[in-house]
Chains A and B, each alone.
Chain A
C-alpha cells in the first residue's frame, strides 16, 4: 500500500502541473508576482543550459554569461535598431550565441579543468569589454534601453486574454518558450548523445578509449548550451526593457552557477528549483536588508560544506531515507 503511494508520486505529471500553475500567475497574482515569475522562468532556462555543461558534461564554464549576453544583445539590437520582428530576432539570438559558442568553444574544449574555466572567463570578459566600449552598436556603458515588446495583440483574440497587460502577455509567451526549450534540453540529456556526455564527464580517458571523439562531443554540448543561454538572454533583455553591459560581467556567471548548485546539478530539474529558490530568497531577504550578497555568500558556504547535492539532491536523499524506514528491505 505504502509502496503504491510512493509509485504515485512518480506518476504525477509534475511538469504539466507546474506549467499550468505558472500560467495562472497573471490572473491570480499581482503585477509584481508576474515580474518575479518571468524572472524565475528565464533564470531556469539559463541555469539548465549551464547545467548541460556543468552537471551533464562535467565542464566548469566560468563564462556562460557571455552567451546569455550575446543572445540579449543580438535580439535587442535587431528589435530596437533594425525593427526586426521577435519571431526572427528570437531564433537569431539563439543562433548568434551558438555561433559564438562554436568559435570560443573550439578553443576552450582543448583545455582541461582550471584552464578551461579561465579561458571561458577570458572570452566572457572579451564580450563584456566589447559591449562596454562599442558605443555605436551596443550603446556602450549606456546600454540599449527601451527595447520594444514583441507584437502580442493577437493574444487578445484568445478568450480571457483580452484585458491582460502587455507585460503579462509577454510573460505567457516567455513561459511557453521556456517550457519548449526545457523540453528540448530534457530530450537532449536523455538521448544517446546526452548519455555520451555523461560518460565523458565520468571518465574522459575511458570515453576516448572506446572511440568517442571527446572534444567534438564537448564542443557540441558547449554550442547547445550557448544557444539556449542566448535564448534566455533574448527573453531577459525584453523582459527588462533593455540590455546593458552589466549583464555580461563575470560575476553574473558565478550567480547562475550558484543557482545551478543550489538546486542540484545532478538532476535535470535541479537548476530550475535553484532559480525559484534564489529569486524567492532574494525577494524575501531584500525586504529586510540590503546585504543580500552577504546572505548569498553564507548560503553558498553552507551549501558547499553541508549540502553539495543541492535542494533536489537533499530532497531525493531524504525521500529514499523515508522510504527505507517505511518499507523494510525485502518487502
Chain B
C-alpha cells in the first residue's frame, strides 16, 4: 500500500467518525440540556428521535410529488415531536420534579415503552427509508476519498447548532435564566422568574432537537423499531464523556465517541462496542461530571 492510500484510508475513517459524531451531537445536545437544567435523565429522548424519523417518513410520503419534500418534512417532524414534548411535560413530567430520581427515570422509561409500541402500531415493523434530498445527493472528492454531500451538510450543521446554542445560552436574557436555573432553581423561582415555563420551554427545545435529528438521519439509516433504545445508550455515553449538562462537553464528547468507535474497529475488531462502554465507565469513575462539566 502506498503512503497516500494509507493516509486517505485514515482520513476516510476520520470523516466517518465525524459524521457519526455530529449525528450523535444533534441527538445528545437535547438530552444534555434537559439534564443540565432540569436534572432529569430522559430515557424517552431516544423515542423522540425515533418518532422524528417516522414523522419525517410519513410527511415525505404525503409530499411525494415535490422533489424537495424532505425539508418541509423535517421541519414537520421536529415540530410534531416538540408538540409531543410540550404535552408530556405539561401534563405529566412536571408533577415528578419534586420526587426521587427513581420515579423520574421510570416515568421516562414508561414513555419509551408506550411510544415504541405506538410507533409499531402506526407504522408497522418493516424497515422504512427516505431518499437523500436531490440538492445534497452528490458527493465530492476530498483527499482522494469520496465524501457524500449529505454527510458534509451534517458535519456543518453540528458545529452550527453548538455555536448557536452557546450564543443563546451566554448572550441572551433567556440563556442567562436557563443557566441560573441549572445552578439553583429555587432562588430563581424566588426572584420571580417563571421557572415552570422555562422548564417547559427547555423540554420542548430538547424534544425539537431529538425530532430534528431523527428526521435528518433518515436518508442515511433505515427506520426500524428498536432504534430508540439503541440510540439512547449511545447518547448517554456521549453526555457522560462530555459532562452532563455541558453543551460544549456534549460536542467534544460526541467527537471523541465517533473517533473511538471509528478507529476502535481497526484496533480491536468486534470490541468497539466494549471500548465505548468502557470509556463511559472510566470517565464516570475518574471524573463523574465529565471532561467539560463541573461537579454538582
Residues of A within 8 A of B (CB): 54, 60, 62, 107, 110-111, 113-115, 117-119, 121-123, 125-126, 129-130, 132-133, 249-251, 254, 257-258, 261, 291, 293-294, 296-298, 300-301, 304-305, 308
Partner of B277, one of A122, A254, A305: A122
**Distance between Cα atoms of A119 and B285 in the complex (Å):** 8
Binary contact readout B279-296 vs A (1 if CB under 8 angstroms, 0 otherwise): 011001100100000000
Closest chain A CB from B178 CB (angstroms):
19
B110 within 8 A of A: yes
Q: Which residues of B contact A304 (CB under 8 A)?
A: 96, 103, 106-107, 110
B270 within 8 A of A: yes
Q: Which residue of A lies closest to B279 (CB)?
A: A122
| B113 and A122 form a contact (CB under 8 A) | no
**Distance between Cα atoms of A60 and B274 in the complex (Å):** 23
A–B pairs, 12, beta carbons within 8 Å: A119-B281, A122-B240, A123-B281, A125-B233, A133-B271, A251-B112, A293-B114, A293-B117, A297-B114, A297-B117, A300-B113, A304-B96
Residues of B within 8 A of A (CB): 39, 41, 92, 95-96, 100-103, 105-107, 109-114, 116-118, 120-121, 229, 233, 236-237, 240, 244, 270-271, 273-274, 277-278, 280-281, 284-285, 288
Closest chain B CB from A33 CB (angstroms):
27
Closest chain A CB from B293 CB (angstroms):
11
| B109 and A254 form a contact (CB under 8 A) | yes
Q: Which residues of A contact B113 (CB under 8 A)?
A: 293-294, 296-297, 300
**Distance between Cα atoms of A130 and B285 in the complex (Å):** 20
- With a 10 A CB-CB cut-off, give which of A249, A301, A304 has the most chain B CB atoms: A304
Excluding A297-B117, A305-B92, 19 further A-B contacts by CB distance (< 8 Å) are: A114-B41, A117-B101, A122-B281, A123-B281, A126-B277, A126-B278, A129-B274, A257-B106, A258-B109, A261-B102, A294-B113, A297-B112, A298-B110, A300-B106, A300-B109, A300-B110, A301-B107, A304-B106, A304-B107
| A291 and B121 form a contact (CB under 8 A) | yes
**Distance between Cα atoms of A297 and B271 in the complex (Å):** 33
| B236 and A118 form a contact (CB under 8 A) | yes
Q: Which residue of A lies closest to B117 (CB)?
A: A294
**Distance between Cα atoms of A121 and B281 in the complex (Å):** 9
Partner of B271, one of A114, A129, A251: A129
Q: Which 3 A-B pairs have the closest CB atoms?
A: A297-B113, A294-B117, A297-B114
Q: Which residues of A contact B96 (CB under 8 A)?
A: 304
| B117 and A114 form a contact (CB under 8 A) | no
| B105 and A251 form a contact (CB under 8 A) | no
Q: Which residues of A contact B102 (CB under 8 A)?
A: 54, 60, 261
